[in-house]
Structure 1
Amino acid sequence: MIELENVAYSYGGGELLTDMSLSVPPGSFHFLTGPSGSGKTTFLKLCYGALQATAGHVRLFDRDVRGLGRDDVALLRRKIGVVHQDCQFLDHLPVTENVALPLTVSGQDADGADANLKELLAWVGLTSRADALPPELSGGERQRAALARAVIMSPDVILADEPTGNIDWEMSQRLLTLLVELNRMGKTILVATHDLGLIRAAKAQVQTRVLRISNRRLQMAGADL
């Protein structure tokens, strides 16, 4: 699904990440940890082609990102759903239209997918909020809407950047339940988080692998998590 081979990323003359190698197999569930500023968001952007490595190779679905044009990368990214840390909604559009936005951007008929869209909103518990605007949503509702938008195209991989960073524990558990359900459906999950409680809760439900960024390098986290 996603492979990194001796990957480094530099910005402004300084190296943010160095010598990173990782293979993310289909159906796996990974957590990515590390202190604030360690490069978790940058790492995720490398994993979905939003940034290009300054050294090494990133392969998405067996294709080296370095040799791809913008259109090719865009097509590959349809296979990857991303839950951004700040959700990135269009505040003038209701939840339904925000969730359906990837369909619109890709040129698909959002109206024709109406039944699936309703089912998806029901799955994340937002049926009653379908017509609400993003500023009217709670933190937990925003994150569940962001997850719905990330999976509307039925991607093979879901990447989530600190999805529980601004919500309470109960809502964190609800979001985790949705991610675990996706993984049990065969989806590959990679979640960047500093929440060790969330990782422990996930380990009790599904087989996970925990990675940590430390001193610009990627390491396997200890079994004590």
Structure 2
Amino acid sequence: MIELDNLAYSYGGGELLSEISLRLAPGSFHFLTGPSGAGKTTFLKLCYGALVPTSGDVTLFGQDVRSMGRNDMALMRRRIGVVHQDCQFLDHLPLVENIALPLMVSGRDVAAEAQNLDDLIAWCGLSHRKHALPPELSGGERQRAALARAVIMSPEVILADEPTGNVDWEMSQRLLQLLVELNKMGKTVMIATHDLALIRAAKSRVQTRVLRIANRRLHLAGADL
């Protein structure tokens, strides 16, 4: 689904990532860890085509990112749901409209999707907050809303950048469980996190592979996590 072949990425005159190769298979579950500044967010951006590698190749669903035009990339990104670190909501719109934004942008009939939208909001435990504005939400509610928005188009791959970074342990477990359930529905999931306790908690729930970025390269983490 996503293949990285010997890619490197440089920024500001220095190489941030180097000699990275990875294949995300359908239905797989990955964690991506590493120290702050190691390049986890950059790595995820390369995985969904927001950045183009300095060298090497990124292939999304069989297409090289360098060969994609704007329309091709827009269609491709509907197949990849991204949960950003900062959530990026429009504060003047209620929660339900923020979650529905990908439907509007893609030209889908939001009214026809109303039941699916309500079901998704309920699944994330946000029915009682659907008309609240983003500034009125707690950190956990914002993160669940970000996940709902990322999956509203039923993507095949979900990339989550520190989805539990600003919530307490109980809420992090709830978010983890939602991502595990999505994986059991056949979605490919990758979570970037520095929280090793979260990774340990996941290992009893789902078969997962743990990757670590260190010294610009991608490594398979050991069993000591």
Q: What is the 5 A alignment of 1:34-113?
A: 34-113=34-113
Helix, strand or coil at the partner of 1:100:
helix
**SS of the residue aligned with 1:111?**
coil
Query: Structure 2: how far apart are the matches of 1:73 and 1:42?
Result: 18
Stretches of structure 1 lacking an aligned partner (at least 5 in a row): none
**Shift, 1:34, TM fit:** 0.4
Equivalent residue letter for 1:133 = L
C-alpha deviation, 1:204, in angstroms: 0.5
Whole-Å separation in 1 of the counterparts to 2:179 and 2:140: 14
Distance (whole Å) between structure 2 residues aligned to residue 207 and residue 216 of structure 1: 26
Equivalent residue letter for 2:116: N
Return the alpha-carbon distance in structure 1 between the equivalents of residues 7 and 197 of structure 2: 29
TM-score (norm 1): 0.99
In the TM superposition, residue 68 of structure 1 has moved relative to its aligned partner by 1.1
* Residue 193 (1) aligns with residue 193 (2): yes
Q: Deviations over 1:10-46 (max 9, x none)?
A: 1121111111000000000000000000000000000
Mapping 1:1-225, distance limit 5 Å: 1-225=1-225
Per the normalisation by structure 2, the TM-score is 0.99
3-state SS, counterpart of residue 172 of structure 2 = helix
Secondary structure class of the residue paired with 1:112: coil
Q: Which amino acid in structure 2 is aligned with residue 71 of structure 1?
A: N
Cα drift, residue 104 of structure 1: 0.4
Equivalent pairs: percent with the same residue? Answer: 76
Residue type of the partner of 2:184? R
2 CA distance for matches of 1:73 and 1:9? 20
Q: Unaligned stretches of 5+ in structure 2? A: none
Q: 1:111: Cα distance to partner?
A: 1.3
RMSD, matched Cα: 0.5
Following TM superposition, the consecutive aligned residue runs of length 4 or more in structure 1 with deviations greater than 4 angstroms are: none
Matched letter for residue 11 of structure 1: Y
- Of the structure 1 ranges 66-75 and 85-94, higher mean CA displacement relative to structure 2 is found in 66-75
